Structure 1
Amino acid sequence: MSGNTFTMRSWEEEVVDGPDGGPRIAHVHATLAYSGVIEGTSRCDYLLYYGGDGHDGGGTTSPGLERIEGTVDGRRGSFVIRHEVGFDLAGVAGTWTVVAGSGTGRLAGLSGSGTLGGAFGEESVGYTFDHRFGS
């Protein structure tokens, strides 16, 4: 994924629903650090679904919203992305899209989408970002 990575700085997870031994739902608040085309930090909230064994997403994706503050191609500001992320014991993979109208500063008018993927237990996760700046 061409040198674009992010690393997890914090992960706070709270199980909000789920019977003993069955599927569960958890809310996660995380902070991340980005390098590559995006340089900066973020705050992210996920709503995760864990499958029947309680260790993976059971073949589903989980939504998340993330506010990234920093630079994209050297332009400073912030923006919000919406995630759809799947995970299992092998790793994590997902897609994300910039929320229309969420850009601030020199990132106002930013649009685009990307992917993320990484192996379970690795410190960094790779990402792609196909983006455009509006007029």
Structure 2
Amino acid sequence: MRQQTEEKNIELKGIFHIEDWQESADSEMSGGAKLTTAKVQQRYEGDIVGTSKTQYRMYYKTDGNAYFNGFEKISGSIRSTTCQLVLKHDGIFENGQAKSQFTIVECTPLYEMIGKTGRFISTQAKQASYCIANNN
């Protein structure tokens, strides 16, 4: 019971590093807009430690900015508890900075994390800070 109480008041922070980014164009439109798929591998540090694989669907506008969504599977630990998480992303890439709001849709064995939301903001090349805050 004590672990659940601690988890309800959780706030997780840290950074992740993009280890690999493979992107391919799926459809190009007039004026330079396009749809792409990106497969991304990342390494997490901070309250979450581990690695992840993400698949984003992206829509690039003619000005080069983009909207993206996708799912990310993280294998690692949250504060020393081994777990696997799945995040559902909804983000934007604008003026050279990526931002995403996400929801935890799976977290085994820490099921009380499901439904919690967070965000990431890119801070420099191939790195971003993340935060998951208590919202339930």
TM-score between both structures, scaled by the size of structure 2: 0.81
Instruction: Spell out the pairing of 1:7-18 with structure 2 (5 A cutoff).
Output: 7-18=17-28
Structure holding more helix per residue: 2
**Aligned length, in residue pairs:** 123
2:89 equivalent in structure 1:
83
Q: Which runs of 5+ in 2 are unaligned?
A: 1-11
Mapped to 1, the partners of 2:122 and 2:27 lie a distance apart of 27
Q: CA deviation at 1:46?
A: 0.1
Mapped to 2, the partners of 1:44 and 1:71 lie a distance apart of 17
Cα distance, 1:3–1:67 mapped onto 2, change above 3 Å: closer
Spell out, residue by residue over 1:81-128, the C-alpha distance to the aligned partner (whole angstroms, 9 max, x if none).
Answer: 0001100233111110001xx222x33442211111024x52320110
Larger RCO: 1 or 2 (CA < 8 Å, sep 6+): 2
Instruction: Spell out the pairing of 1:1-135 with structure 2 (5 A cutoff).
Output: 4-19=14-29, 21-53=31-63, 55-57=64-66, 61-99=67-105, 102-104=106-108, 106-111=109-114, 112-119=116-123, 121-130=124-133
2:7 equivalent in structure 1:
none
TM-score between both structures, scaled by the size of structure 1: 0.81
Mapped to 2, the partners of 1:107 and 1:131 lie a distance apart of 14
What is the identity percentage for the equivalent residue pairs of Structure 1 and Structure 2? 23
Q: CA deviation at 1:77?
A: 1.4
Q: CA deviation at 1:64?
A: 1.0
Contact 2:13 2:132 in 1 (8 A): no
Mapped to 1, the partners of 2:73 and 2:45 lie a distance apart of 15
Mapped to 1, the partners of 2:96 and 2:22 lie a distance apart of 21
Q: CA RMSD in A?
A: 2.0
